Amino acid sequence: MAATDEAAQDGARDGAPDGARPGGAPAAERRDRMPRWLPRAMVLALALFACFQLANWAFHQLIGLLINILIAFFLALAVEPAVDRMAARGMRRGLATMLVFLGVLGAFAGFFVLLGSMLAGQIVTMVEHFPQYLDSVIRWINESFHTSLSRVEMQDSLLRSDWLKKYVQNSATGVLDVSATVLGGLFKVLTVVLFSFYFAADGPRLRRALCSVLPPIRQAEVLRAWEIAVAKTGGYLYSRGLMALISGVAHYVLLEFLVVPYAPALALWVGVVSQFIPTIGTYLAGALPMLLAFTVNPWYALWVLLFVVVYQQFENYLLQPRITARTVDIHPAVAFGSVIAGTALLGAVGALIAIPATATLQAFLGVYVKRYDVTDDPRVQGRPRRRPGASAVARIRRAWRS
């Protein structure tokens, strides 16, 4: 009888709904309840998303400053060998850095003052003789195309044209924009000079601070990478200086042949600007010689333009890769590709620092690449592969001819 009652109680307990189970919560309620970890996961995900958005916003706001610091770092690497030599002779490092920067700034100032005085005098001459130049061009057009143009009619139509009025209005409204652009450029130059001065003057302290947070084995790698960067940057500047010299000599020969005034100064302008101002340097360098050649003969300006275009192609595809391969120790194809990649990533700044950065990275990673002896195969050594019996056939042919 007792066993029957226990079985009945068990059956009633098994057949009862879940909510009637003693000490237990309903199953549906447990299924609908939010897991305890979900609110914390949602808060963590929102916090990470907010941090990412904040970091992205800060990066885009500071990207200009970061690029200026990158330029300053490579400029400091370029002047550091000279600072090290002066510091090794007992001079204070800050004073040595200041003297090096004053020398560089003095050279640039003298260069632009020389060109400015030359250009100012030539502009005055051009303004005085502009009617004669215009008359000669109009005469050539009338004779070549059988037209009847006159300078007075062209001047009247130009002064009454809507295009000139719109241009004057746009120029008047854009004065503030031009002034803001010039001031912004000066501020960027001062920022780069200031950071590069501190990087060069406090180079040992900066390396010591960087190595203090790294283990000894990593410290040696950082110092080796720094030394390679200094060497490659110096080699890159040497290659640029050599190409500037070659470019200046080539353009000097052309300008002297065309009897263009101020040929030495113009050749120096073309050499320096075309090599040390990336992307637009070639066009800036060629515009001034074309302008002065126009004062001698309008056709001379066309000859100068053709020479600049042809020489630029010669320099880009033949001269620059070979010189860079010798001074920076980087393959010409790698140098050309690195310039394209640097331009795509950072524009003119990327084109300027692409080659020394790539050469530094290549030299640094080359230590960690394991190399093996190459088998003596004609396909590897660059010799043509001989077919079996070729030497015997050659001997028979020689014997038959003899």
Q: How far apart are CA 216 and CA 227, in angstroms?
A: 17
Segment 214-258, tens digit of pLDDT? 888 888 888 888 888 888 888 888 888 888 899 989 999 998 998
274: which 2 tokens? 């075309």
The angle at the Cα of 358, spanning 328 to 84, to the nearest 5 degrees, equals 60
Q: Which of 105, 112, 278 is nearest to 193 (CA)?
A: 105
* Higher per-residue pLDDT: 330 or 158: 330
Q: How far apart are CA 259 and CA 25, in angstroms?
A: 103
- pLDDT, mean of residues 118-138: 73
Quote the pTM value: 0.65
Residues near 259 by beta carbon (within 8 Å), at least 6 away in sequence: 296
User: What does the pLDDT read at residue 165?
Assistant: 64
What are the start-end ranges of the H helices in 315-389? 320-327, 332-346, 348-365, 378-381
- pLDDT, mean of residues 369-389: 63
